[in-house]
Amino acid sequence: MSTAPLAADKPEMLRLEGVHKHFGSHHVLRNVSLSVRQGDKVVLCGPSGSGKSTLIRCINRLVSHDQGRVLVEGIEVSDHARDLELIRRDVGMVFQQFNLFPHLTILENCTLAPTWARKMGKKDAEALALSLLERVHIPDQAHKYPPQLSGGQQQRAAIARALCMKPKVMLFDEPTSALDPEMVKEVLDVMTELAAEGMTMICVTHEMGFARKVADQVVFMDKGEIVEEAPPEEFFTAPRNERTRQFLCQILSHE
């Protein structure tokens, strides 16, 4: 009988220890610690400006932290260029604004990194890209340019692009908040499928339906601190912290 092993048994993928970050005099992350095991799905939420993006950008060092340690698979993230490139290849990232390369076709977007950074052959890279485009349900868009696609299609292409590097962790930074409402679902569906396949994921999102359904752990941030960290049932039904309660009330009230 094969059941998923208990979370505690799985190896640790990511670890943040007492991370601080300042932008000028602005203290954006305050003593943030977090541990994510293989296969975990973490949803990160909190008000605008609370430091969610900064936090997940510290993981692949698009932002460099001032203090504390960030470890990916046990390797400390630092400015060492070679190490950094290796870590980044294992950590996929999906942005709110898609950030597809508009001058390349969807297929070229997907094969660029595998051919250059993974030294994959052109044929292999294209085959891999096509299979992943299939997985996000847009195989027929491979030869179009990003601006020719709808927002939802672009975001799914961006997910495929990240998956082409065969990452071990995926970071999502509000992947659906720039989308028209009818397209939100198609992207969330792809993310749900990815979660079901066992991908380790950290996801900044305000789609609480998705959080309820997919997350193992919901993390709530405010003013640079992790205020609450709980499994979704507990988080939504019995938030311990007053700030969490307020936040949930605000974003759920108009649904």
Ligand X SMILES: Nc1ncnc2c1ncn2[C@@H]1O[C@H](COP(=O)(O)OP(=O)(O)OP(=O)(O)O)[C@@H](O)[C@H]1O
Alpha carbon distance 154, 26 (integer Å)? 34
We find the least distance from the C-beta atom of residue 53 to Mg ion, in angstroms, to be 3
Per DSSP, the three-state class of 210 is: helix
Give 51 or 114: the residue with its C-beta nearer to ligand X.
Answer: 51
Regarding 162 and contact with another protein (CB under 8 A), the answer is: yes
We find the least distance from the C-beta atom of residue 239 to ligand X, in angstroms, to be 18
Give 50 or 154: the residue with its C-beta nearer to ligand X.
Answer: 50
Query: Which of 37, 39, 54, 61 contacts ligand X by CB under 6 A?
Result: 54
Regarding 188 and contact with a second copy (CB under 8 A), the answer is: yes
Alpha carbon distance 32, 68 (integer Å)? 9
Binding range to ligand X, per CB under 6 A, among 5-13, 21-29, 84-92, 156-164 = 21-29
Please check whether residue 179 is in contact with residue 155, taking contact to mean a CB–CB distance below 8 angstroms.
yes
Regarding 64 and contact with ligand X (CB under 6 A), the answer is: no
Residues 6+ apart with CB under 8 A from 228: 218, 219, 220, 235, 239, 240, 241, 244
Query: Which of 91, 107, 184, 214 contacts another protein by CB under 8 A?
Result: 91
Provide the mask over 128-157, with x wherever binding to a second copy is found by CB under 8 A and - wherever it is not: ----------------------xx------
Alpha carbon distance 22, 42 (integer Å)? 24
Which residues are at the interface with ligand X (CB under 6 A)?
23, 26, 28, 46, 48-54, 180
